[in-house]
Amino acid sequence: MSRGLLEVVVVAASGLPNVDFLTDKIDPYVVVQYKGQERKTSIARGQGGNPEWHQKLTFRAEYPGSGSDYHINLKLMDHDTFSSDDFIGQTMINVEDLLGLGVENGSYEMNPTKFRVIGNDKSYHGEIKVGVKFTKTSDYNGDEEEFGGWKNSYGDESDD
């Protein structure tokens, strides 16, 4: 089993529909979820359908895993000040191969790539450009006691 850091770079989106009929320009942000961890980008205020974030969000990851352990979910939302935020659409990135290659190579990076954003009605709601990088920080055999005091130079004692 290997552990490491998964860095998700949310670059920009384009062609997002205006889901808020009260304004000309939506205020989009992205909620990124990975294995029970959740991070958000800042709100691209007034940027409408073609927002830019250029933000890196970091998650803890392990390999191997199973099923949904390999899915990064990105949910695009429109921030509203006086009402609840509107859902724009979502996309999912499968990182199984990326994690496997990262464990083999020490690190592995997928350059920013465009993914289709899908709305609630399953229709095309624009696209989002995202890069992903995995960096291995340690290996263990399940029973960490066996290492008896050995520590990887990166450490990960803060892990829970």
Question: Which residue of the chain is nearest ligand NAG when measured via CB?
Answer: 105
Question: Contact letters (x/-) for ligand NAG, 105-134, by CB under 6 A?
Answer: xxxxx-------------------------
* Dist CA 27 CA 78 (whole Å): 5
Q: What does the DSSP assignment read for 25-63? A: S--EEEEEEETTEEEEPPP-TT-TTS-EEEEEEEEEEEE
Give yes or no for residue 20 binding ligand NAG (CB under 6 A): no
Give yes or no for residue 73 binding ligand NAG (CB under 6 A): no
Give yes or no for residue 63 binding ligand NAG (CB under 6 A): no
* Helix H or strand E encompassing 97: helix 96-105
Give Cα 56 to chain centroid, integer Å: 9
Give yes or no for residue 137 binding ligand NAG (CB under 6 A): no
Compare residues 46 and 106 and give the one whose CB is closer to ligand NAG: 106
Binding site for ligand NAG (CB under 6 A): 105-109
